[in-house]
Structure 1
Amino acid sequence: MLPLLVDPGVVSGSAAFDGVAAAQLGSAALGSAPVITAVMPPGVDSTSVMAQTLVLQRTFQTLMMLFEFTGERAFRSAAMALSAGTFSATEAINAVSAAIAP
């Protein structure tokens, strides 16, 4: 049998890196949420209130984008970790079958 030519350790390391990156991005987004949503209008007139509403709408869109990206990064990390385990198991099965085969 031919080897897979995939190093499970490298894939596992990449999964760990993406997991840490997702955690950092998620915590940064959560930490910044109270600060960037605390927008006060400069006045009480309708234009100031509308400006505040538009800024808050953009802020929530930005936070949702950051949370979506965090989830995608975490999902990618989990998929790579699963792939690393699959590659390791396949290599182990190949090694056993090569040892058994004449």
Structure 2
Amino acid sequence: MPGGMPGGMPGGIQPPSSPPPQMVPPQPLASALAVDPGAISRCMFRYTYIWPRGGQGFWFYPVFVGRTSVSGFRWTGFFWIFSGFDLQRIESFSCF
């Protein structure tokens, strides 16, 4: 279903209205044990490429950053779905 959930998320938070960039950015140096919430909060409401620890990278659109987690919309290759991640599971990220 394009756009993820019907009617968007509670509170009126909507996924992006277009797909993320087609290119994959170069991976920055990995962080220490966990991504700093202050660092990734600069990426709020921006296309962000995430490299998880031990997994394949993906496009993400963060809408909330907590002390230990981030949530937002993940691009499946066809549409955006709402999801969240523990900051310790993120090796590195880059936002645009």
Query: TM tier, shorter chain?
Result: under 0.3
Larger strand share, 1 or 2: 2
Q: Which has the larger radius of gyration?
A: 1
Greater share of residues in helix: 1
TM-score by length of structure 2 reads: 0.20
- TM-score (norm: length of structure 1): 0.19
